[in-house]
Structure 1
Amino acid sequence: MRRRMRQARRLGAAALQPRAWGAPVVPAYWWDGHPNFGDALTPWLLPKYGIVPLYREPRHARLIGVGSLLEFCAEDYDGAIWGTGLMTDVERRMPNVQALAVRGPLTAERIDVSGAAYGDPGLLVSRHVARPARRAAIAAVPHGHHRSHAGLTALLKSEPGRVRDVNVHREAAPTVREIAGCETVLTTSLHGLITADAYGIPAVWTALEPALTGGTFKFHDYEAAVTPGRTRYVDFDDLRTLDDVQRFAWAADASRVAELSRGLEAALPPFAGAAAPITVTFPRGITRAFRGE
């Protein structure tokens, strides 16, 4: 029921996007088990590019977007992927997949695809959410598994008022805006790092216990596309003070981020083709015409 309510809200929001009027409705998959801003990027971004995603399980989806989702797909999946990645460092050949874009070259190698654009679509958020003028010093963006980590909690409380503790278990836009409103980002969440890169914010990432599923593979996959040969990773033991956080943090190259962003946007037009029109009625009697895909 909660998922259906989220679906209804997202379709209602899509109806208000001018580019979604008359747009194709595409069965799409993203992780929707609980609110999380990184997972919510797929249904939030696609209507801005003229595509209305309708949530479906992987076997029924024709488009899979943001996240480490390929392990959820059958190896004979023949739909499209856009910025999607693997969770773990495993070989998983997907000979029939339509790879519009993959998160990074490590995923591309493991699933044996070539010619796809690289990058996570989270890099596009700065094109749709303005960076706030008033900013805090540091945004801490812990993965949900790490919100109660004792060492991180102690570090964040060491200088009250200097750190903004970002809760990732929310929808995309407000979380992105909160991260963008800071001068430095410390994160154990991949999309904390990606959001920082979208706005050119110096960032540092670290790993805490409990370890994430797949370890740090998804971070290295992403950085192999954005900062090839370099990493913002710092061992948490070396982050003794908030000054250390700001000292170790650095920003991804803006021209590389812009290049990847253009590639991600250019990869979507195959889904903007003509299709039969359908009508969707939203809450409060709002009706919009879309094209069925």
Structure 2
Amino acid sequence: MTSYNPKDWISFIFYFSKADTFRKLIPIMIIIGIYSGIIAYLEIEYWHLPEVSHVKNISMMHGMLGFVISLLLAYRTNTAYDRWWEGRKMWGSLVNSSRNLAIKLNAMLIDDNDRDFFKKMIPHYATILRKHLNDSETGKQLFDDVDLEVDYHKHRPNQVANKLFVKVNNLYLSKKLTGDQLIVINNELQSFTDICGACERIKNTPIPYSYSAFIKKFIFIYVLTLPFGYVFSLGYYVIPVVVFIFYVLASLELIAEEIEDPFGEDANDLPTKKIAENIKKHIEEIL
């Protein structure tokens, strides 16, 4: 996750990071610029369209559709950010559950071997969950056209959670934990799997294909028709104007695509590795 000062305007304006959409869009922006130049040349130098040409009225369509495309992109961005923020809340809950479980076990357990087990396994769950969510196979579990091999040992978070439950149950059977103490720590143990399931739901359920495809086609067609009407009022200046409009619209879609899956390694994704390291540090301090 990129660390930055939100009050430093200069760095935002003049610095281009790896996550900046400008770098990713440069090739297609050049193509759009060339296309706009060709349309401008044909209308001005070759077709010699008069001011009363009906082609000039195409800009009326852009005025009507501009509001529609702004609503679509606003909804798209808000939906993607909701997924990003929900993922952050889930990892925040994982931090709290890990700390609470460690604090309770620290007060309940006497044997150092038992404490060492939980000192290792509680932060291990966060580390394994991070790797599980980064795995490309995890994001394909709900796709109809992907036939994944069934291997229950591949779900590593479940294996770690199972070891934690087995260990707690053995402590109860050996009278190292009472029934009341078992109930007290059960919520934290159960929350691990609940958090994993919530993160998998975000990972496995992308924005519906039809919706995402429609926005991309809408932006593309909208931008391709811009030069026809605005050449009359802008002349060859239509080239930078159309390129800039495409940059703004396409950037919003790219940003939404990046943050809707917050568990990757992109600059704007959640710092799950750092969170897992902090959990490990805090659990070692407690136990």
TM over 0.5: no
Structure number with the bigger relative contact order (C-alpha 8 A, sep ≥ 6) is: 2
Higher strand share: 1
Q: Which has the larger radius of gyration?
A: 2
TM-score for the superposition, normalised by structure 1: 0.28
Higher helix share: 2
